[in-house]
Structure 1
């Protein structure tokens, strides 16, 4: 089971198309990302450990910033090239 990521400009609506707010999607590294995040503590203070691999997980702007910092730390300690690529994709930021 892989994890798919989407970055939206606002909360996607249930009734309308979520494509209206979609800025970027990441679907390429789902399996590797799921494995990379599976080792994180779900009850810790971090945000990435709270990602639900079976359902939707929403982060507000502040939580997303914390998650990006976590990605940076995880990437530095990552030894698996597939996991590292998935984490780098997760940590994408608009320029």
Structure 2
């Protein structure tokens, strides 16, 4: 199980591959396993925006949600138990920051 992250310039349409390719700005798939594992460590507190990321399905964050989720990264890093999880959390922080800085940006979390 792993979670890929894609940054898009507009909300991607899962059923329209041509549109999805046209809006793709950046992708990160190398830390998917570590990301899934560290997100599994989140407390069952729905107050976390990151808790919404589903490792088995697709999850979307808009620019505003990404900016808000950036505030949870320090707490997520504290939950990391190994370097794979830490690298995944740092990569997530980078992608959230890129989305927050992209006008109209969307993150697509691609679950297995």
TM-score tier, shorter chain, comes to 0.7 to 0.9
Cα offset, 1:18, TM superposition: 0.8
- Between 56-65 and 14-23, the greater mean CA deviation after superposition: 14-23
Where do 5+ consecutive residues of structure 1 fail to align? Answer: none
Displacement over 4 Å in runs of 4+:
none
Name the count of aligned residue pairs: 94
| Structure 2 SS opposite 1:46 | coil
Alignment gaps of 5+ in structure 2: 102-112
Cα pair 1:43 1:50 within 8 Å, conserved? no
In 1, are the aligned partners of 2:42 and 2:76 still within 8 Å (CA)?
no
Cα offset, 1:17, TM superposition? 3.4
For residue 11 of structure 1, give the secondary structure of its aligned residue in structure 2: coil
Q: Secondary structure at the match of 1:87?
A: helix
Which structure has more relative contact order (CA 8 Å, sep 6+)? It is 2
